[in-house]
Amino acid sequence: MAYHSTKNQMIKTKGKATTRKPKGLTDAQKKQLKEAEKTHTKKHIDLMKKLMKGGMSFSKAHNEALKKVGK
């Protein structure tokens, strides 16, 4: 069996490549972002949304946004 890696996950396949398309945000993620909007800039929130749609967790996206654009 072949192993193909995507950004954050290893996908086990039987000889054929698979790709996963980024999905939208879950209801829980939307709720967390709504709370974060109270204390963070639009630029910070927009970067977090982009990262989360790419498969990153809320906390990892938050830390990455803090490093790149600040609060």
Query: pLDDT digits over 16-68, tens only?
Result: 555 555 578 889 999 999 999 999 999 999 999 999 999 999 999 999 999 99
Q: Is residue 1 part of a domain?
A: no
Q: Is residue 65 part of a domain?
A: yes
Q: Is residue 3 part of a domain?
A: no
CB crowding 6-17: b at 16 or more within 10 Å, else e? eeeeeeeeeeee
Q: Is residue 29 part of a domain?
A: yes
Q: What is the identity of the amino acid at 14?
A: K
Domain count, the chain: 1
Regarding predicted confidence, which is higher, 50 or 7? 50
Q: Is residue 12 part of a domain?
A: no
Per-residue pLDDT band for 11 (boundaries 50, 70, 90) equals low
Q: Is residue 56 part of a domain?
A: yes
- pLDDT reported for residue 70: 87
Report d(CA 71, CA 10) in Å as an integer.
32
